[in-house]
Amino acid sequence: MIYKSLLKPLLFQLQPETAHHFTFNTLKILFKIPFAKAIAASIFCIEDKKLEREVFGLKFKNPVGLAAGLDKDAKLYDELSAFGFGFIEIGTVTPVAQAGNEKPRMFRLPFDNALINRMGFNNEGVVAVANRLRKRNKNVIIGGNIGKNKITSNENAISDYEICFNVLFDVVDYFVVNVSSPNTPGLRALQDKEPLTNLLNHLQHLNHQKVKPKPILLKIAPDLTNEQLDEIIEIVITTKLAGIVATNTTVSRENLKTEKNIVETCGAGGLSGKPLTTRSTEVIKYIANKSDKKFAIIGVGGIHSPADAIEKLNAGADLIQLYTGFIYEGPSLAKMICKELINMK
């Protein structure tokens, strides 16, 4: 495969964030060539009725999505849709543009097929993102992942989420409330019962004032205990959310193959990729069983192969998302998963 044998070794010579911007800029240029998107789609996209899913009132052409974080500012969602994704989640976006944490803030752990990032919700602000999405191709399902600015206190967090919700409402198909990133100080405290219930009730109140409400989901950390997961399930049911995205990155550094001193050099941040595979699946299975599947689950975390994807779906996920697996395995991963799902039917 060209990606693994040629492109990936070259890209991995660059710093992760540099490689990301280089790839985005290159794709932007290439896709301006006439028929480039059609050619890419013919290579990477599979259309088959067996792949279609109807989840929280939306019809997905396939269950494989791109997770938030890769296209934070909605700059490449149309091009990325040509790589076989059934939906794309942009963000996390905040009301006001912010630079994020100091660089370097993303690190590869190749021996673990993993990444560590402490990006810190770097984005151009919700208005800039919404303006790009107004020109979007309506054939692509877009999720809007929303958060709070770093300087906003948790006491005032609701207003940040409200701003993002209102500005994005007309240009996305569903929302994901991100209170689980480890890279914004104090953010995970919003997963506690009282602040989380207040936040979600407020967003649902705004939602139901609209002519046609949008599905709202909650993205959770993989580091929650079963007792905390029980609380989350209760809150999601009580606030009548459409579902849960399980899971975000982990702060755990257990069972890594990479030498401990190298991991420590990377410093703080969320770990994603293969080391997260088992834990995210455990969380999905626990939520699905405990909730009696009363709401939808989007499974994300350590999906690097069709087998990983099927494991997530069998555990109770209705849809899945790729991020680190897409970087390590390449642009054909979504297609490989879809082919395997067709063969299973």
The residues assigned a catalytic role are 181
3-state secondary structure at position 300? strand
Residue 272 in contact with residue 114, Cβ under 8 Å?
Answer: yes
Of the candidates 316, 330, 321, the one whose C-alpha atom is nearest the C-alpha of residue 303 is 321
First to last CA, the chain: 27
Q: Could you give the CA distance from residue 257 to residue 244 in angstroms, rounded to a whole number?
A: 30
Of the candidates 189, 163, 190, 164, the one whose C-alpha atom is nearest the C-alpha of residue 175 is 164
Q: Which residue has the tokens 């495969």?
A: 1
Q: Could you give the CA distance from residue 266 to residue 253 in angstroms, rounded to a whole number?
A: 11
Token pair, residue 164, equals: 């993002």
Residue 217 in contact with residue 300, Cβ under 8 Å?
Answer: no
